[in-house]
Amino acid sequence: MPYDQLSTICNELIEILKQEEGLYLDLVKKESDKKSAILERDAATLLKITREQEDDIRFIDRHETQRSNLVKQISHLVQSDNEFTKISDITNSITVSNELKEKLLHHSYALREVMLTLKNISKVNQQVLEDNHQLFQTMIIELTKTSVSGYGPGENKEKTRKSIFINVNG
């Protein structure tokens, strides 16, 4: 197994992991900004952040494709019958320096932690959005049920069917 080639690929993989970690940290910040926009009911900001996140996710997809290709190369170099699914499997199967193995593990765990943070913040934001939606739906239903609100059908529907003229000039 070509040690230098394997080391080079592992270093490339570390760089991809670092870049992905940075991209996910940006997504975490944007998701936190989204929470503020949700709580402030700032639809324009929420939409802007969501669009930015969609662009970021497309960029992350490209990095993940690169990462997957590097893992395939490593699998091929170590002549593994199965493609590796975890960085820990890679570090257990390759012959490179311990320092390189430690970096691979460190950055893969760091990426995983940031991804979990993003998942948790996203889940909370989704719940806040759903709660707000349910609150407004309930309010609309209740307002349209009662004539007192002025939004409901009222008790005297017959009277309001006829044209009403209002003198706006006083």
Is residue 73 a part of any domain in this protein? Answer: yes
Q: Is the pLDDT of residue 152 over 90?
A: no
For position 12, which CATH number holds? Answer: 1.20.58
The contacts of residue 14 (CB under 8 Å, 6+ apart) are 100, 103, 104, 107
Yes or no: say if 31 and 118 are a contact pair by the CB < 8 Å rule: yes
Is residue 151 a part of any domain in this protein? Answer: no
Report the number of distinct structural domains present in the chain. Answer: 1
Range of the domain at 73: 3-118
Q: Where is pLDDT greater, at 134 or 164?
A: 134
pTM, two decimals, is 0.73
Q: What is the pLDDT of residues 86-96, one digit of tens each?
A: 888 888 878 88
Q: Is the pLDDT of residue 154 over 70?
A: no
Q: Of 14-28, 120-134, 156-170, where does mean pLDDT reach its minimum? A: 156-170
Is residue 72 a part of any domain in this protein? Answer: yes
From the list 45, 53, 34, 30, the residue with the least C-alpha distance to 128 is 34
Is residue 129 a part of any domain in this protein? Answer: no
The contacts of residue 112 (CB under 8 Å, 6+ apart) are none
Q: What is the pLDDT of residues 98-130, one digit of tens each?
A: 899 899 999 999 999 999 999 999 999 999 888
Mean pLDDT of the chain: 84
> CA 37 to CA 170: how far, in whole Å?
43
Is residue 157 a part of any domain in this protein? Answer: no
Is residue 38 a part of any domain in this protein? Answer: yes
Q: Which residue has the tokens 């390759």?
A: 94
Is residue 132 a part of any domain in this protein? Answer: no
> CA 121 to CA 129: how far, in whole Å?
12
Yes or no: say if 13 and 81 are a contact pair by the CB < 8 Å rule: no
Is residue 124 a part of any domain in this protein? Answer: no
> CA 146 to CA 17: how far, in whole Å?
58
Yes or no: say if 11 and 51 are a contact pair by the CB < 8 Å rule: no
> CA 58 to CA 2: how far, in whole Å?
34
Yes or no: say if 46 and 62 are a contact pair by the CB < 8 Å rule: no
